[in-house]
Amino acid sequence: MDEYNVRTETYTAVPKLTMAASSIIGTRKYQQDSYACIETPSGCLAVVCDGMGGLEGGEKASSLVVRNLLEDYIRLTDGDIRRFLKVEAIKLDKKVFHIAGDNGEALGAGTTLAAVHVLDGRMSWVSVGDSKIYVLRSGELHCIVREHNYRLLLNEMLSNGKLTKEQYHAEEGQAEALISYLGIGELSLMDTDEKPLQLLAGDMVILCSDGLYKSLSEDKIKAVIADNDFDLQRAANELTATALRTAARGQDNTTVILLRYS
Amino acid sequence: MGYCQSCKRELPAVQKGVCPYCGFQNSSQETEFVFARRYVIRETFNGDRYGISYRGFDAVMGRAIQVRRFLAADGTPTEGESAYQRYERREKFMDVYRKLAALEVSSLPMIYTFKAEGMGAYAVFAYEPGRNLAEMLAQTGVRSYAETKELMLPVIVALKVMHDKQVCHGNVSLESICQTGKTTMLYDAMGGTDAAADIRAFLMVFLMVMCGRTMSEEGGFGSLMLPEELQECIRDAFCSENMLTADKILDTLYHCGEVAVGKQPAEEPAPPAYLLKLAESCDVKVTTLKTSLT
């Protein structure tokens, strides 16, 4: 009680994480995307995988990665999540590499990986391939990972002077080919955090497969999220639905996970 | 820059023609203006002291839209209404659109968003140009029960879904129902509380559509004249002794709506049981688990 006989208490609202996910097959024959988001007392883990490879190879690859990551996360006793994510990526790369078909031969399947872990507002992540992780803060969309495709190499060689502009344009036809993915066998390129990112109240983390950002511009992604700020699940559903509606010629499998920290 | 000929407020240059405060169409060649820094407004209609409707284009998403704007953006209460009453009315507007946004029915236009705007608010939803039911009826005469049912079924479906969510239209009339390639209902005068009033009004409309309607010499539906025997029929249908008859008619109509709506939306699939068992065995409490795994 103070001198005026009024009891004052300090109240601080603790931000919490809300999750929503949406995944569509688009106009493809198979759904090769897999995803999961799980919340436990150890934090929230969200993962999106975009499989590739003929027939059901991509689906096998992406679901194997999601399944193993979830199981190992549940069994995790050591709190070093950054090390966990890196070690998991390397381990799962080998597992996917050895996926065999019914005839026992390697399927040659592969999958991307985009995974984040959030605990008390601190976010760690790992990314392999061209699935993306964004942070939406104060109306600005920031992509915190790179696309591990041939264009990354081409840009590097161009800026180092190892390639002329003409040579760059000649190679652009293959720019979308991935140069790093789980299943490559000797994983050497992945994006992770140097130190955990501290989320601020109001931030939104977006994980998505390339079906989303190849159909919707960043302005449209921001507009859909802003339009549906009253319902996170509706925002996720609208993102995939808008991607499907917008596609001029066919729509790839599209998956999005939204994590709102507020 | 200029001044509105009606409310005398200063008009920003980009909003020449239509006053954003009172909705008055000032005499000017320019009628297009940008609303909420995103929507290019091409037409204004349904302006009254509470709100105004626009039709236009969403420049970001590239689609045709309608906007229903609840005025008093400058905080001025209307005559005879306190600021708190105005605030309550605004909150009701937001609540109605929150409920409508949760609906998924093909005969209602999709609500894209709704936002508070100072003391006012606005809602943005899909616009699909098409035929207007009132205009259509003006050109044709009496139609069969089957034709009537086909015309009105989407409206029945929409009404049923809305009433299930405790949202009442409050102004079900020929003028407030607009038919397009898929029938839509204008979100006008929303927020009524009496579903029964909606149903009674709808039944009246249903019968009028079925029987055709007679235009007075002035035209329009304001002076609608039903055949005397039909007026008797409608009065009888709603008298207490005949309520069963009216209920039966409504049951039949709603049954049509239920059939049209079809199955309930699929529930979210349950997460794989083995993962939950694994968590249990490791003494880990799972709060949420969403996944594509089966």
pLDDT at A79: 78
* Phi, psi (deg, nearest 5) at residue A74: -60, -35
pLDDT for residue B260: 55
Q: How confident is the model at residue A3 (pLDDT cuts 50, 70, 90)?
A: confident
Q: Which residues 13-72 in chain A show a CB within 8 A of chain B?
A: 19-21, 23, 31, 33-42, 44, 63, 66-67, 70-71
- Full-model pTM: 0.77
Spatial contact of A52 and A32, defined as CB atoms under 8 Å apart: yes
**Residues comprising chain A, all counted:** 262
Residues of chain B short of pLDDT 50, as ranges, are: 1, 14-15, 29, 75, 179-183, 186, 188-189, 213-225, 244, 263-265
Confidence class for position A127, pLDDT limits 50, 70, 90: very high
Task: Say if residues A259 and A17 touch (Cβ distance below 8 Å).
Answer: yes
Most confidently modeled range among A117-121, A160-164, B136-140: A117-121
Q: Which of A124-138, A176-190, A246-260 has the highest mean pLDDT?
A: A124-138
Domain A17-261 belongs in CATH node 3.60.40.10: yes
Residue type, B82: S
Q: What is the pLDDT of residues B71-129, one digit of tens each?
A: 765 545 556 677 788 788 888 888 888 888 887 776 678 889 999 987 789 999 888 76
Fold for B133-261, please state it: Transferase(Phosphotransferase); domain 1 (1.10.510)
Is B7 in the A-facing interface, judged by CB distances under 8 Å?
no
Closest to A123 (Cα-Cα) out of A113, A131, A135: A135
- Inform me whether the pLDDT recorded for A207 exceeds 50: yes
Please give, rounded to a whole number of angstroms, the shortest distance from the CA of A156 to a CA of chain B: 33
pLDDT of residue B155: 72
Chain A interface includes B61 (CB < 8 A): yes
Q: What is the pLDDT of residue B264?
A: 46
The reply to whether B288 touches chain A by the CB within 8 Å rule is yes
Class of domain B19-126: alpha beta
Q: How far is CA B165 from CA A4, A7, A227, B6, B101, in A?
A: 49, 43, 21, 40, 11
Contact A17, A258 (CB under 8 A): no
How high is the pLDDT of residue B218?
34
Residue to mutate among A74, A131, A259, with most B CBs inside 10 A, is A74
Three-state SS for A13? coil
Q: Does A245 touch chain B (CB under 8 A)?
A: no
At A136-156, the pLDDT tens digits run: 999 999 999 999 999 998 898
Q: Break chain B into its structural domains and give their ranges.
A: 19-126, 133-261
What would the pLDDT profile of A29-53 be if each residue is shown by its tens digit?
Answer: 889 999 999 999 999 999 999 998 7
How confident is the model at residue A64, as a pLDDT?
96
Q: How many residues does chain B have?
A: 294
